[in-house]
Amino acid sequence: MTEEEKIFKGILFCPGDAQLRAIKLRSHNLSKEYSETREDETEKRSKLAKEILAKFGEGSFMQGPIFFHYGKHTMIGDRVFINYNFTVQDDALVTIGNDCNFGPNVTIVTPLHPMIASERKIMHDKNGNEKRFCYAKPVSIGSDCWFGANVTVCPGVTIGDGCVIGAGSVVTRDIPPNSFAAGVPCRVIRGITETDSMAFKPDIIADNYV
C-alpha cells in the first residue's frame, strides 16, 4: 500500500515519503505561480487552477493568493467565489459544492498529529524504522454555503448545503444543512428560514427586490 493510499484509509502515513513530497512540491510551486498572476490574466489562472486541483468548476474564481498542500486532493464545484489568502491543507480529500462563497483568510485543514509529544517526533513502521507519522480526515462542504472572513474548518468536518459560517469561527464538528453557525468552537446558532430574506429588510434592500 502506498503512503497516499494510507491517507485515504485514514491510517498513519509518513508525510516525508518521496512520492508525497513530489506531489506537494508540485502543488506548492503551482500555488505560488497562481498567487503571482494578475487578476486580469484569466486564461492563465484558469489553466493553473485546473493543473493544481482535481476539479475546478465552471464559473469559479479564486482571488489569490492561494495555497494548496496537495492540490489534487481538492474538488471545487461550479460558480464558487474564493477571496484572498485561501489555504487548503488537503492531505485527505476536500470537497466543495456549487455556488459557495469564501471570505478572506479561510483555512481548511485535514491532517492530524499524535497528541503525545514523543509520538509526534518519532514512531516506528512495521519494519522497526523510525519515522514521523500523521493521519488525516476528509472535509466535505455542501453547495450554497457562505463562509465569513478568517474561518477555519478542521479535519473530518461535514458542512451541509445552505449554511452560513460566521467570521472567525473554528469549525470542529459537523454543521447540518441550512444552519447559521458561529463561534470558537463553532456551534449552530439557529436555522436559516424565509424570514431571513432581504425582502424583510426594507432599510437595506432599498429600491431593489428579490
59 CB burial (10 A radius; 0-12, 13-18, 19+): exposed
H helix count then E strand count, the chain: 5, 21
Alpha carbons 24 and 169: distance in angstroms, whole number:
27
Alpha carbons 55 and 77: distance in angstroms, whole number:
7
Helices (H), 77-144: 117-121
Q: Which of 28, 69, 73, 113 is catalytic?
A: 113
Across the strands, what pairs with 112?
135
Stretch (H or E) spanning 108 = strand 107-109
Alpha carbons 70 and 143: distance in angstroms, whole number:
23
Has 113 been annotated as catalytic? yes
Residues known to be catalytic: 113
